[in-house]
Structure 1
Amino acid sequence: MLTDFLSMSGHGAGEGDGGVGAGVTFGLLAAWAVHDLEEVATVPGWARVRVPELRQRFPEVPERMWRRLESMDGREFATAVAGMAVVMAAAAAAGHRTGGRSGFYQVALNGFGLHALVHLAQAAAVRGYTPGSVTSPLVVIPFTLWARGRLRRAGALRPARPRDAVQGVALAAVATAGTHMVARRMVGRGGR
């Protein structure tokens, strides 16, 4: 498990990060990378195979959503993931610089953990695999709980409030939409 590796590798505590350790701060980027590698590997093929069936099962979903999902190729998706890597690296770096106290880092950590519930809800709704649903319970949720526990023990975790959950989900949604919009424009200009 990622948290065991981070603890065994000596990254559970460190200097220059307020004592919470690079595993807590840069671990966010590592856990995100593992999770998004699953998505990069599966989204294009999964969409190609499953969208026709899902379109029939869920007619209430707007047609433009299905067309958008069908039109996204692997290159566009990978470009969006690269954009999200920049966001997650910035959040991890902010967390590291502040010993985990950065509001941006904590909102990103909350959003990362909560977005796993969206993946699990999607898998439940389609009654099967959806991209991201394997690493959500195996990596995303355990890492988030572990990191929050380390932050709490270090006295760096802000008290949990409902608005923190809303901010976390909002950051995840805005960053996802923004990186996909930029990716679509970049790949489109690239001669798609």
Structure 2
Amino acid sequence: MTLTILIWAVASVFIIHDFEEIIVMEGWLKRNEKDILKVLPKRFHNYFIRVFPRHTAGFALAVLVEYIGILLTIILAMGGAAKHWTLIGILSVVSILFIHSFTHICQAIILRRYTPGVATAVILLIPFCLYFYQFALVIEAIDWPMIWISIPVGVILVVFFNQVGLIWGKRLETYL
């Protein structure tokens, strides 16, 4: 395994995880939206209804926007010859995927049922992210301060790409 292969694997792991979500999201939402609104704080109801795509095409567009963001981050990391500053971007993606995995687990626990993405979060994302951290730490491509910096950077990146994707996905649904 090389760091280059591992960095490119981030895109594959992300898309496999999101394929699970894309494939089941529309039907799952139809069956579970009332229960989601019961556990979701009321102040988020309007946002959820207004912004979250309900159809596969809209949700897939949202995922595509996030995927493009990840690919740009990978290209920057590769273009920077995996230097310290360029690794922060890809490390941010890995850190957010790792944290995101636990949101899937929490959703499944709160709703007491399968939620889209929980299977690949447990089987794929968590082990991959732990391996990425371990491998990159051992070869000294990253260090713990970089991991801690990657978390707020990742939050900023994910909020931007996620919100743009969700808004575009919801707009697409008006044409369907």
- Give the TM-score band, short-chain normalised: 0.7 to 0.9
Partner of 2:120: 135
Partner of 2:27: 45
Instruction: Report 1:50-129 matches (<5 A).
Output: 50-58=32-40, 60=42, 62-68=44-50, 72-97=54-79, 98-99=81-82, 101=84, 102=86, 103-129=88-114
In structure 2, distance between residues paired with 1:163 and 1:92: 17
* C-alpha spacing 1:151/1:84, structure 2 compared with 1 (3 Å): same
1 or 2, which has the higher helix percentage?
2
In structure 2, distance between residues paired with 1:100 and 1:181: 34
Equivalent residue pairs, number: 172
Normalised to the residue count of structure 2, the TM-score between the two structures is 0.84
In structure 2, distance between residues paired with 1:21 and 1:95: 9
RMSD in angstroms over aligned alpha carbons?
2.3
**AA of the residue aligned to 2:128:** F
Task: Mark the runs of 5 or more structure 1 residues left unpaired by the alignment.
Answer: 1-11, 14-19
Say which one has the larger Rg: 1
Partner of 1:157: 142
Quick check: 24-33 or 49-58, which moved more? 49-58
In structure 2, distance between residues paired with 1:114 and 1:168: 10
Quote how far apart the aligned CAs of 1:163 are.
4.6
